[in-house]
Chain A
Amino acid sequence: MPLLEIQNLHATVGDKEILKGINLVIKPGQVHAIMGPNGSGKSTLSYILAGRDGYDVTKGEVLFDGKDLLSMPADERACAGLFLGFQYPVEIPGVATMTFLKTALNAVRAYRGDDPLDAMQFLNYVRERAMVLNVTDDMLRRALNVGFSGGEKKRNEILQMAVLEPRLAVLDETDSGLDIDALKIVAEGVNAMRTPERGMLVITHYQRLLNYIEPDHVHVLAQGRILQSGGKELALELEKNGYGDITGAEAA
């Protein structure tokens, strides 16, 4: 059974139709990349999947693990194993990153019927994952994303993914604003999470990230639809020729 199945998805934000019939199937173990020009609806798609208020589905269906995803509230989707790495991670003043991670993990564990980890177990659990991503204890103590650099915020997103161990990770422009070293660290963190059970949807504007996270499939999202799909070589083509060819071809 596919992990994620998007069928003819139409969605509006306010009165504006942003998604105009998206079809996409992700099987366990696969990494799909979505590329596309700015404003093409990539983040909108990620928000629709995650269940954000204000993004309305007008047509179509999304199945997650065979279940109707769109009828589930946002927190239940997260507990069921859908993770969104935010393009713009949110700051929460006064809440230590560690506290946030612990609250989130225990919420997800409770949903799965697992006992909460005690303080010691949790500390070890997080440190192990934080080390890989070069997230320091100091960062863990600081308020969530408050005063974090762009790179720190993105590493923190990946750390959250590593802690929550989702079934499907949607990573929205996790590469934007990263220098090459930070990009490598993030990519390593993501690659370490690739398993035969887990699926990933990597959203990016640039091909660069896909040098480090090799996708099984690449899709081009523009004008609210997936205009082209292919293997990882498609990303290289786009890099060379830009999006104009594809979007222009469609218009013709």
Chain B
Amino acid sequence: MAATSETVEQVQTLADDGYKHGFVTDIEMETAPKGLSEDTVRFISAKKNEPEWLLEWRLTAYRHWLTMPEPTWSKVSFPPIDYQDSYYFAAPKSDKDKPKSLDEIDPKLLETYEKLGIPLLEQEMLAGVAVDAVFDSVSVATTYKKKLEEVGVIFGSISDAIQTHPELIRKYLGSVVPYGDNKHAALNSAVFTDGSFVYIPKGVRCPMELSTYFRINAENTGQFERTLIIADEGSYVSYLEGCTAPQRDENQLHAAVVELVTLDDAEIKYSTVQNWYPGDEEGRGGIYNFVTKRGLCQGRNSKIAWTQVETGSAITWKYPSCILKGDNSIGEFYSVAITNNMQQADTGTKMIHIGKNTRSTIVSKGISAGRADQSYRGLVKILAGAEGARNHTQCDSLLIGDQCGAHTVPYIECANPTASVEHEATTAKINDDQLFYCQQRGLNEEEAVSLIVNGFCKDVMKTLPMEFAVEAQKLIGISLEGSVG
């Protein structure tokens, strides 16, 4: 802890300095100098040509961040983060800095792409190879863009939206996850560099699944991604984030924020496959994935459903939540979390029932292997006014081997006697009878584990959009390779 407070002090002096001397960073530079200060925040905002109010918001967030302690309640451990030892803004790499071909890419990564059945061109894109050929997906993307425009859907980067739709951004940014929510969210608010923005107009059913992957932001949106999705009255959208292919990033710390808002009768389905680099078998390297995701069911009869398949990262700290404010609104959380080797995950959800007859469903499937450790942490909170609220929680853990751990930490706070809250939890070891049965039918050990674990996760996997589901199934097998025998 000493190191952290020292860092904070150091930051404080730096920040004060920056304030006295005004801009010390040259805006013409492509990359902000290492470290975090008010100047860094100003640099990012200026680079992005942001309006004054947004700069002020970022600065307020930054100042607040300085005063906040690191969250300590989760069951994960890691050395203190030295925030001054990172870069917070870098222009996208130019083609000449990128690898020239797949020959320059780590063969292990390519092997995984191969197993996932990812086409060559996409492999190149994922691996960050400089590609000058016009590839299919670009033209497909253009066609899709036209289709979206026809129905009035706005889908693009949040940087663009800040320029083109400032009124929407100003109204909703930080409205669901305020900058002071937690330390990671504050940091994101101060220094976010990009992310996605979606607006679905009244009564529109978005004609296709929207996906970040599809937006082809091959340029890194970076470690501080910010996403805002607004579904206006009676609209519907399904949004996919991430991809099954393992993504590498030189930045260890990722602190994304996702905010969802549904107005009356609107629905957002948000699906994530997270497969950031988990580190090696000994736990070296790997991403710290500290994400704040929250949806606000503001309107009556609105619905937000989160589905996540979390297999990557050294540390996952993530609780996609729903605030069920509108009467009859529905929140759902479906989660598969796999930890292997030295990975740690502390993940779950919060369902906050405010409106009458609000309903929530939580299905969490945790699989732990190797020496990994994971916790389900969930809060179901029924406020006094949530007449007739209902929650059902199903929380299952599967252990592979005897050196891993799984913990379930449910919190229930109920202030309305008409509400009903059900919680079921199970923990089991992978079953030798099942493994032998599969092997007797010709499956090798890894195929058997993959099949059994996929069965265990079925109730979550079936909520994934089709185009994600098949790859996600393969990913489950790959994530557990080497976990038995």
Contact = CB atoms under 8 A, between A and B. Distances in A.
A93 interface: yes
B132 interface: no
A164 B440 CA distance: 11
A111 B441 CA distance: 12
Contacts of A99: 451
A92 B437 contact: yes
A81 to B, nearest CB: 10
Contacts of A83: 440
Interface of chain B: mostly helix, strand, loop or mixed: helix
A94 B454 contact: yes
A86 interface: yes
Interface in B249-280: none
B452 A92 contact: yes
Contacts of A86: 437, 440
Contacts of B437: 86, 89-90, 92
Contacts of B443: 75, 103-104, 107
Nearest to A85: B440
B422 to A, nearest CB: 20
Given A53-B432, A90-B433, A94-B459, A78 B440 contact: yes
Q: List 7 tightest A-B contacts by C-beta distance, closest first.
A: A94-B455, A94-B458, A95-B455, A104-B441, A107-B442, A90-B437, A74-B439
Contacts of B444: 75, 107
A208 interface: no
Interface residues of A, number: 30
B241 interface: no
B436 interface: yes
14 contacts: A51-B439, A75-B439, A75-B440, A86-B440, A92-B437, A95-B452, A95-B454, A100-B451, A103-B443, A104-B442, A107-B447, A108-B441, A143-B458, A164-B441
User: Which range holds the interface residue count of chain B?
Assistant: 20 to 34
Contact of A74 (B440, B455, B459): B440
A53 B447 CA distance: 18
B198 to A, nearest CB: 32
Nearest to B453: A94
A52 interface: yes
Contacts of A162: none
Interface in A5-55: 50-53
A218 interface: no
Given A77-B440, A78-B439, A92-B452, 15 more contacts: A51-B439, A73-B439, A75-B444, A78-B440, A89-B437, A90-B437, A92-B455, A93-B455, A94-B454, A94-B455, A94-B457, A104-B443, A107-B444, A143-B455, A143-B458
A93 B433 contact: no
B445 A75 contact: yes
A203 interface: no
A69 to B, nearest CB: 13
Interface string B421-446: 00000000001111011111111110
A164 B436 contact: no
B452 A84 contact: no
A155 B437 CA distance: 16
A164 B442 CA distance: 9
Interface in A62-100: 73-75, 77-79, 83-84, 86, 89-95, 99-100
A160 interface: yes
The residue among B434, B444, B455, B458 with the most chain A CB atoms within 10 A of its own CB is: B455
Contacts of B433: 90
B436 to A, nearest CB: 5
Interface of A: 50-53, 73-75, 77-79, 83-84, 86, 89-95, 99-100, 103-104, 107-108, 111, 143, 160, 164
A93 B461 CA distance: 14
Nearest to B432: A53
Contacts of B431: 90
A50 B455 contact: no
A164 B441 CA distance: 8
Contacts of A93: 455-456, 458
Contacts of B454: 94-95
A50 B457 CA distance: 29
A92 B436 contact: no
Nearest to B431: A90
Contacts of B457: 94
A101 to B, nearest CB: 9
A77 B448 CA distance: 15
A95 B452 CA distance: 7
Nearest to A143: B455
B468 to A, nearest CB: 18
Nearest to B436: A52
A98 to B, nearest CB: 13
Contacts of A73: 439
Given A92-B437, A94-B456, A78 B451 contact: no
Contacts of B448: 75
B436 A74 contact: yes
A103 B444 CA distance: 11
A160 B441 contact: yes
Interface string B380-420: 00000000000000000000000000000000000000000
